[in-house]
Structure 1
Amino acid sequence: MSILRFIGAAALLGLAACGSGTQTIPVPTLAGVEVTQSGLAKQLFGNKGRPAALPSAPYGFYSKGCLAGGQQLAETGPTWQAMRLSRNRNWAHPEMIDVVQRISRTAAAHPASNGIYVGDMSQPAGGPMLTGHASHQIGLDADIWLMPATLGLSREQRENISAVSMRRANGAYTNSRWGDFQRQIVKAAAQDPRTERIFIFPGAKVAMCDAETGNRDYLRKIRPWYGHHYHFHVRIKCPAGAQGCVAQDPVPAGDGCADARQWVSNILNPPPPKPRDPNAPPPKPKRELTMADLPQACQAVLAR
């Protein structure tokens, strides 16, 4: 059986098995990984090393979908370098690649840097990853390191160099490494009309709110989130005409600065935990995504 026919058959087997509990389906292995019902989606997409030969299109939601016709961000460009190349996650929809390259040109124009280091984007065919992100599945997410870039890193250096945190030890505010360079690249990303949201640690959002003296409209796209003090996460909107793409709810009105300050306050002075209802059932562990959870188009993405 050809690998293409096998992948399609494996996906169909996964669909047929839905609703049968946690039973392991005894099917052949793909790239040495046993295909089981519990981890079917991440195993199939995580081991697909090339993009689907289809027109570029995102299918599904950012955390539950796949990517047809993924394009690869060049490992090295005039104003960027892709990092952690062994992960093979420098793939995206062409709109996302264009946004990243635009941010990199803003970074290169700043005296503090030659460009940007680009972290995880998506896998060649998107989909759930074997490790790490819950999102980054449809080619419309990218992580940009916050530290200034010195281009010319070797492949080995890109695997081993550590990103630098911009967060103070108290976990709330920015530290002395945060400055104009970081503000400018985050602002450039937020001002791109294609950008849906930017996720960054609350202290950075507060710092940007405090520093802005002009038009504040872009600030509403910058959303405080856990972690994200080594990099910021850029998410773009569903591209025009992408009918299979599920849009995220619009960001709330306003600049979001009061909300970010509340996050900081809660970090410094954590509110008491809410009492748990003793009669409430225990929370269920997060279930692995199966092919049945993804849009039907993702079967064709795997098979091409």
Structure 2
Amino acid sequence: MRRRPRAAPTRLAPTCLALICAAVLACLAAPLAAQTAKQLFAPVTHPSTGRADAIGQNSLGCLAGGYQLPESGPTWQAMRLSRNHHWGTPEMLAFIERLSVNATRVGWRGIYVGDISQPRGGPVAGHASHQTGLDADIWLNPPQRLNLTPGERERISAINVRTRDRRGLNANWSASHEALLSLAARDPAVNRIFITAPAKLAMCARVPARDRAWLRKIRPWWGHNDHFHVRLNCPRGARSCVPPPPLPPGDGCAEAVWWVTEALKPPDPTAPKTKPKPPARLADLPPRCTEVLSSR
């Protein structure tokens, strides 16, 4: 049998080709645009290539070339290893090592380190910040051991130091907690520290007037009754890093009273409800974060 001759290939006009290419790219990009930034960054298991860089804001940014905190050190242990949230800038890892050594000066064996950032930063489950490798959670547990197994690090919980009425501190709080927070706040790399309001007020009541400058960095915030959250300054030369807003003047002690008084009153049922903020998309982050996410 004779084969039917093949038809000559159809040649498309340049304009038609451009339209087809644009349509294909749009189809490929559609699933990416439909996902939130949190959904895009969460599955990534390793850092991007290149030098370390904190990009954008703590609550709207990412981390390039992240460094992973070793699971254990002489004076620290990383907790909840399954989350893979122990990535940060070199400055953050250096701070954690300094703080863990300083903890031994106030009677602690070291520190338990909670979340820092994901391998490439970005929005992370359970946090509004922790996106640039410059935030870290330090548990309020004085470690009994620094040889916990991976399984134990999943099961042990951070201890709560606040009373049930949210106005005071329970028996878990000690003078060594205050001493550790003082050491952390005095570190020049630290911008501010978040902790439960009763802890701030307890320190305000004890610290003498001649030595209260570091108290300015201690800021009350919700949900920090079992850990304190350290936020570092932008590293020197980090042009892509957006610094946090300046701290208000003064030691912040008078303002902290609001957190255990007015803030705890039941909400006004007649007040209009605020619409929740939509989750961040990749386009909401700095443009460099797209490069960080796509880097191998």
Class of the TM-score when normalised by the shorter of the 2 chains: 0.7 to 0.9
Equivalent runs, 1:31-70 vs 2, <5 Å: 35=31, 37-70=33-66
SS of residue paired to 1:109: helix
Whole-Å Cα distance in 2 between the matches of residues 229 and 51 of structure 1? 31
- What is the TM-score of this pair, normalised by structure 2? 0.86
- 2:11 aligns with none
**Are 2:171 and 1:179 equivalent residues in the alignment?**
no
SS in 2 for 1:65: strand
The change in CA–CA distance for 1:38 and 1:223 in structure 2 (over 3 A counts) is: farther
Q: Distance in 1 between matches of 2:207 and 2:38?
A: 41
Query: Does 2:285 correspond to 1:294?
Result: yes
Give the aligned length: 270
Match of 2:276? 285
Q: What is the aligned partner in structure 2 of residue 195 from structure 1?
A: 190
Q: Is the 8 A contact 1:172 1:267 kept in 2?
A: no
Structure 2 spans left out of the alignment, 5+ residues: 1-21
User: What CA deviation, in whole Å up to 9, does each residue of 1:189-219 have, x standing for no partner?
Assistant: 1111111111101000001111112410010
CA distance 1:106–1:138, change in 2 (3 Å) = same
Tell me how far apart the structure 2 counterparts of residues 236 and 246 of structure 1 sit (CA, whole Å): 12
For 1:137, which of 126, 131, 136 is the aligned residue?
A: 131
Q: Please point out which of 111, 115, 119 is paired with 2:114.
A: 119
Distance 2:84 2:255 in 1: 36
Greater Cα shift, 116-125 or 207-216: 207-216
Larger radius of gyration: 2
Secondary structure of the residue that 1:244 maps to in structure 2? coil
> Which residue does 1:222 correspond to in 2?
218
Deviation at 1:273, TM superposition (A): 2.7
Q: State TM-score, norm by structure 1.
A: 0.83
* CA–CA distance in structure 2, aligned partners of residues 290 and 272 of structure 1: 31
Matches within 5 A, 1:211-290: 211-213=206-208, 214-266=210-262, 270=265, 273=268, 275-276=270-271, 283-290=274-281
CA distance in 2, matches of 1:82, 1:88: 10
How big is the shift at 1:285? 3.0
Give the structure 2 partner of residue 105 of structure 1: 101
C-alpha contact 2:106 2:180 (8 A) present in aligned 1 = no
Q: What is the percentage of aligned positions where both structures have the same residue?
A: 49
* CA distance in structure 1 between the aligned counterparts of 2:253 and 2:271, rounded to whole angstroms: 31
State the Cα deviation string for residues 222-249 of structure 1 (Å, max 9, x = none).
Answer: 1011110100000011111111111111
Counterpart residue identity of residue 118, structure 1? V
Gap regions ≥5 residues in structure 1: 1-12, 18-24, 29-34
- CA distance in 2: counterparts of 1:38 and 1:103, whole angstroms: 41
* Alignment RMSD (CA, Å): 2.1
Rate the CA distance shift 1:288–1:257 in 2: closer, same or farther, 3 A.
same
The residue type paired with residue 186 of structure 1 is: L
Structure 1 residue 272 displacement after superposition: 6.3
Per-residue deviation at 1:267? Answer: 5.2
2: CA distance between counterparts of 1:300 and 1:196?
A: 28
Matched letter for residue 163 of structure 1:
A
* Aligned twin of 2:16: none
Moved over 4 A (4+): 25-28
Contact 1:68 1:301 in 2 (8 A): yes
- For 2:19, the equivalent position in structure 1 comes to none
